[in-house]
Structure 1
Amino acid sequence: MFGYATDETVEAMPMTLLLAHKLNARLHKLRRDGTLPWVRPDSKSQVTIEYTFDGGACLPRRVHTVVLSTQHNPEITMETLRRELMEKVVKFVIPADIMDENTIFHLNPCGSFITGGPMGDAGLTGRKIIVDTYGGWGAHGGGAFSGKDPTKVDRSAAYAARWVAKSLVKAKVCRRCLVQVSYAIGVAKPLSVMVFSFGTSALEEHELLQIVNDNFDLRPGKIIKELNLKRPMYQVTAENGHFGHEEFPWEQPKPLRISPELLKKSKGRPRLPRIRRYGRGKRRG
């Protein structure tokens, strides 16, 4: 299971995915309150952003393309639909300072979208594992979340890995973080824990791992207890992603206990990732 965090947004989420979720959330808020009565429940969004990179950290520069398609009633015209999507959804969500005259907008680009949801597509459960997580950033272990109780590490450990990654980024010991954790059935303690900072930390990976081990107990039972995962809250996660929403306990950064030596070192200049080369040197054995 993997957790990911990046300092490019306040939520520590990739801006591409965050804006895509916000487009859907805004669209369906207006559907529910009656502002856009012609909108139906099914919709799709995608945001393409141009980035530059600063030593491994992601710096969003401009929105390249916005895609938003929504199911609708048969009476609405495409002209009205596209105008209202642009004025009441896109311009409300996408910051004006990262859009320009070259930004491309595809609003219901295929035209009419009347039949949607289970009537239009079969076999949706568990299929959207990337949009549920980080939109292709970071990594994914392959397990879906929805439909699983928190004793399944596919769900609980992925939430914990996000908690760890976000806590490290918010503590400013790195600007971008990927956490990997693996388990065996019947073994409570993780088989392995890996922390990768993409070269955005002054600390070595083993020092970041020391901070994780000093602050987090990643046994499934402890994860369930610390994040209170047995309370009913999972219906909300099925819409607009499992991460980046402050109401979820795994989105609350944990105050970290860091030794004075590591804390001082973490304020230094980020180091470049170490590249290990294999296949050279004397043969052993």
Structure 2
Amino acid sequence: MSRQNYTFTSESVSEGHPDKVCDRISDAILDALIAEDPLARVACETFATTNRVVIGGEVGLTDQAKLAEYMERIPDIARACIRDIGYEQDKFHWDTVEITNLLHEQSAHIAQGVTGERGDEGAGDQGIMFGYATNETPEMMPAPILFAHAVLKRLAEARKSGEASVLGPDAKSQFSVRYENGKPVGVTSVVLSHQHLDPSLSSGDVRAIVEPYIRDVLPEGWLRGDTEWWVNPTGTFVIGGPDGDAGLTGRKIIVDTYGGAAPHGGGAFSGKDPTKVDRSAAYASRYLAKNVVAAGLADRCTVQLSYAIGVAKPLSIYVDTHGTGKMDEAAIEAAIPKAMDLTPRGIRTHLDLNRPIYERTAAYGHFGRAPDADGGFSWERTDLAEALQRGL
């Protein structure tokens, strides 16, 4: 039987964190290419440091002759991302940062693996992908990562509106959440490091600015007299973003998913088109796990999928309900392929992933978000619950 009383910690990072700047640029480029060519194959990586952004990777287009034309737009896309995030520092400014674009044509050998010898669409790579859901929050997400994201998103809104204009774009949050009888009941420690633009501000001054927003986001009663507060514990935090620490696409995969509360297959998401199962099958795994919980088949659920490059069908489907299942796990595993086609093409079709919907995922988590009217976060829908139940 799993533990019922414990403390679990998760962290998040803001959209201005160096790695998230890179994720944002990579996904914005992906969106721009998919908007022009829904079947574009993209693997875009970004590196950022002081006064410099380097973009590399591979692009495959239906009409490859248009590649040079699209590449001319890449620097403007990157600058727009940096500007929206809010970087106007002397050594990292959206208008003056040097941008190097090294994107090139996709390898023909990778392309043939995806297309397949028989014309069927294989997975873009081998690998394992995990999805997770829990009924401990309405979003079916673990509470520590959900609120770590929510606080940073609220602070970014306050910064951009001018409400908290002294704050800078770079920030990290961390919450240690106390569980009793398996449910989250309070926060034992708050850790927040937030860039600020006024070097005279002390840690106490920054806490006075951010604390009302933290209290606004967390459930009532979760902050108590014995909650530990660590706000800018090292002191001054004025130099932020890629000027303070280099950034790279795909380095925040635990922040992007479940905050360490569930396994991770190791593949990053940002900059990858949906033929890459690192991304699309991770979304499908979350969709399946969430629908298992929504269907009342379990209180918690982990789903693992595995693939081989060039092979369409998943090699395995694994379900763990962590002792909370109302049905046998093997029966749920058998019901899943009846409810959803888990080939790369099937996932893309079911979740309608060939759309420019990825830039918005680059910060504050890929999961636990409300589905958008234009198809964004389609993997957060709970419309598969009935089909799963029928398949049992």
TM-score (norm. length: structure 1): 0.87
Partner of 2:171: 43
Task: Tell me, in whole angstroms, the C-alpha distance in 2 between the residues paired with 1:143 and 1:11.
Answer: 23
Once the two structures are superposed, the pairs formed by residues 1-285 of structure 1 within 5 Å of their partners are 1-53=129-181, 58-75=182-199, 77-78=201-202, 79-87=204-212, 89-247=213-371, 248-255=377-384, 256-258=386-388, 262=392
Contact 1:126/1:144, CA 8 A, preserved across alignment: yes
Partner of 1:275: none
- Give the aligned residue type for 2:346: K
Task: Tell me, in whole angstroms, the C-alpha distance in 2 between the residues paired with 1:22 and 1:246.
Answer: 13
Pair 1:77–1:123, CA change in 2 (3 A): closer
Contact 1:38/1:76, CA 8 A, preserved across alignment: no
Contact 1:48/1:65, CA 8 A, preserved across alignment: yes
Q: Which deviates the most, 63-72 or 8-17?
A: 63-72
Structure 2 unpaired stretches of 5+: 1-128, 372-376
Contact 2:351/2:378, CA 8 A, preserved across alignment: yes
SS in 1 for 2:261: coil
Contact 1:42/1:70, CA 8 A, preserved across alignment: yes
Coordinate RMSD, CA, aligned: 1.5
Pair 1:215–1:140, CA change in 2 (3 A): same
Task: Tell me, in whole angstroms, the C-alpha distance in 2 between the residues paired with 1:168 and 1:254.
Answer: 11
Task: Tell me, in whole angstroms, the C-alpha distance in 2 between the residues paired with 1:14 and 1:211.
Answer: 25
TM-score (norm. length: structure 2): 0.63
Aligned-pair CA distance for 1:219: 0.6
Aligned-pair CA distance for 1:257: 2.4
- Structure 1, residues 73-128: CA drift from partner, whole Å, max 9, x if none? 034522332111112x1111111222211111111111111111111111432110
Task: Tell me, in whole angstroms, the C-alpha distance in 2 between the residues paired with 1:76 and 1:224.
Answer: 51
Q: Work out which structure has the larger RCO, using CA pairs closer than 8 Å and 6 or more positions apart in sequence.
A: 2
- Structure 1, residues 184-223: CA drift from partner, whole Å, max 9, x if none? 1111000000011001012111111122122111111011
Task: Tell me, in whole angstroms, the C-alpha distance in 2 between the residues paired with 1:249 and 1:210.
Answer: 23
SS in 2 for 1:61: strand
Structure 1 unpaired stretches of 5+: 263-285
Pair 1:93–1:156, CA change in 2 (3 A): same
- Give the aligned residue type for 1:26: R
Identity %: 48
Pair 1:80–1:258, CA change in 2 (3 A): closer
